[in-house]
Amino acid sequence: AKRDGGGVARRFDPVLFAKAEQRRLAEHDLMRGLEAGEFEVHYQPIVDLDNGGITVGVEALVRWRHPEKGLVPPALFLDLAEQLGQVPRLGGWVLEEACRQALAWQVQFPGFEMNVNLSASQLTNPKLIQEVREVLERTGLPPRDLVLELTESVALTDLVESARVLSQLKELGVRIALDDFGTGFSSLSHLSTLPVDVVKIDRSFVQAMPETGGASVAEAVLHIARTFNLSPVAEGVEDAGQAERLKDLGAGRAQGYHFARPMPAIGVTELLDKQSAE
Ligand code: C2E
Ligand code: CA
Ligand code: CA
Ligand code: CA
């Protein structure tokens, strides 16, 4: 054990040391990946249940194309990126890339929608409004076709500030979606305070729907959406039964592995080609 000036014994702890070292390497690797531009945007189709399940838009989902690890999902790097203060920059890049791509698809499908996730650090970034405005100008995407998704927990941390930022975004003409809707129910009364257009029903509710009949949380959430005049999108639809029940409940739009997994842009282009040939 080493003894420092204060007389406190500090023993070398190999486990702690290994953890700190691992963390240091992970940070370094992530910064290197950002610098090298190893990130990609994949897109998951959003379908219209009432219109034969045609694809009407997509959600942009970031991935890391790691030189050794392959395709890394956001759950494995977003927290660290957030701690390193890199999410506003990465998110800004995703936004621009997604809007550019949306415009390309709009040539074939006017009104094709692009959903982009916003994190807490992006919402509190004073440059956000300016950045969204500039991206819309640069890419030429009609603002109404951009939907910015944020989770209830992000929106409700500072309700007054969120309402202010969201109103400014809405003045640009973009739409706002509450993501993972229903998972933060304590703040239901605040729904009317926030200028929200769309609610994305969390997949836990979709997957908990009973096989036959019976009431479900998904149904209750759809009822709330209707009450507040919000367009619902059901997330995490994994089988035909769920899709059918959601359609009967009037969910309108849905997203999930049953329809399509997130895919690179080229996959969506092919899907749209096939769709327009039908
Ligand atoms: P999210 O916004 O709730 O996105 C939906 C997630 O559910 C995606 O995971 C998607 O691949 C997955 N998913 C879609 N359909 C199904 C299904 O049928 N079953 C199941 N089990 N899962 C399904 P992914 O791409 O790994 O993203 C995870 C989370 O990372 C996202 O959750 C979002 O919160 C965050 N994220 C992803 N991309 C971005 C981004 O560009 N910026 C920000 N700030 N966050 C992002
Ligand atoms: Ca989302
Ligand atoms: Ca979600
Ligand atoms: Ca989520």
Within 6 Å (CB) of ligand 1, which residues are found?
A: 44, 60-62, 73-75, 78, 91, 94, 117-119, 179-180, 203, 236-238, 255-257, 262
Give the pLDDT means over successive 10-residue stretches in the chain (278 positions): 59 90 96 98 97 95 98 97 96 98 95 96 93 97 97 78 93 95 70 88 90 81 91 96 94 96 98 91
Q: Which amino acid is located at 61 in the chain?
A: L
**209 DSSP assignment:** S
CA atoms within 13 Å, Cβ hemisphere of 148: 31
Q: Which amino acid is located at 27 in the chain?
A: E
Ligand 2 is a single-atom ion; what residues have CB below 5 A from it? Answer: 117, 149, 179
* Ligand 1 pocket test target in 117, 205, 238 with most atoms within 8 Å of CB: 117
Residue 19: what pLDDT? 93
Supply angle C-alpha 241, 147, 224, rounded to 5. 55
Which sign, positive or negative, has the C-alpha torsion 131, 103, 100, 231?
positive
- Token pair recorded at residue 34: 């950002």
For atom 37 of ligand 1, which residue has the closest CA? 61
How far, in Å, is the centroid of ligand 4 from the Cα of 259? 18
Which sign, positive or negative, has the C-alpha torsion 198, 97, 173, 273?
negative
Residue 158: what pLDDT? 79
Contact 257, 238 (CB under 8 A): yes
Predicted TM-score of the model (pTM): 0.93
Q: Which atom of ligand 1 is nearest to the CA of 87?
A: 44
How far, in Å, is the centroid of ligand 1 from the Cα of 218? 19
Q: Which atom of ligand 1 is nearest to the CA of 119?
A: 44
Q: Which atom of ligand 1 is nearest to the CA of 202?
A: 3
Contact 245, 256 (CB under 8 A): no
Instruction: Please count the residues of the chain.
Output: 278
How far, in Å, is the centroid of ligand 4 from the Cα of 181? 9
Asked if ipTM goes beyond 0.90, one says yes
The string of DSSP codes covering 31-70 is HHHHHHT-EEEEEEEEEEGGGTTEEEEEEEEEEEEETTTE
Contact 229, 222 (CB under 8 A): no
Residue 8: what pLDDT? 66
Please tell me the distance from the alpha carbon of residue 124 to that of residue 161, in angstroms, as a whole number: 8
